[in-house]
């Protein structure tokens, strides 16, 4: 177990939270979101987290309250970080922002598409205001980059063991 800057004992688990409509990845607007599925995202997150000795607990919900419950659970279980793609809730949910801000867990926001190159209502993100970093426009590779950034933030180094 690791210690955070607030001296609270944490686990080696990061929560990867995906919001509304992300269960449709691979079929929903592939010109915007690509052909990768949510299962592909979850596999990428598990593999990337493992390189840092971390476990990715991947969750998806189309319901705002359930995403907030996941954030609270991450706090109760002393997760060492959160990666969140809140989908449309990024732009509308003050409650999700407040949950992330309240738990004080290092958080990275991810968007598969470049939200700043899209409709103007997507240019503001409440969840970004509660995160230490935001990645947008890298496709699902943004999750890998987010985990790398989170690992650096919490002081985790990638394993030097050679892959088989």
- Among residues 33, 75, 97, 143, which one is catalytic? 33
87: Cα separation from own chain's centroid? 11
Side-chain half-sphere CA neighbours of 54 within 13 A: 33
91 annotated active-site: no
Residue 82 phi, psi (nearest 5)? -135, 135
Specify whether 111 is catalytic: yes
Distance in angstroms (rounded) separating the CA atoms of residues 24 and 28 = 5
Backbone phi and psi for residue 99, each to the nearest 5 degrees, phi listed first: -65, -45
Q: In what order do the strands lie in the sheet with 81-85?
A: 55-60, 13-18, 81-85, 107-111, 133-136
15, 75, 97, 111: the catalytic one is 111
* 90 contacts: CB under 8 Å, gap ≥ 6: 19, 109, 111, 115, 122, 125, 126, 127, 128
Radius of gyration of the chain (CA): 15
**What is the set of active-site residues?**
33, 111
């Amino acid at each position: 177990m690791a210690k955070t800057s607030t001296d609270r004992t944490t686990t080696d688990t990061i929560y990867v939270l995906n919001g509304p409509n992300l269960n449709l990845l691979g079929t929903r607007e592939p010109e915007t979101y690509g052909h990768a599925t949510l299962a592909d995202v979850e596999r990428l997150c598990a593999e990337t987290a493992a390189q840092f000795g971390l476990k990715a607990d991947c969750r998806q919900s189309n319901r705002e309250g359930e995403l907030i419950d996941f954030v609270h659970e991450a706090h109760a279980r002393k997760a060492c970080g959160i990666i969140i793609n809140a989908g449309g809730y990024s732009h509308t949910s003050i409650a999700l922002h407040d949950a992330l801000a309240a738990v004080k867990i290092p958080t990275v926001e991810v968007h598969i598409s470049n939200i700043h190159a899209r409709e103007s209502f997507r240019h503001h993100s409440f969840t970004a205001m509660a995160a230490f970093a935001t990645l947008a426009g890298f496709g699902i590779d943004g999750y890998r980059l987010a985990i790398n950034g989170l690992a650096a933030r919490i002081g985790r180094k990638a394993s030097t063991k050679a892959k088989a």
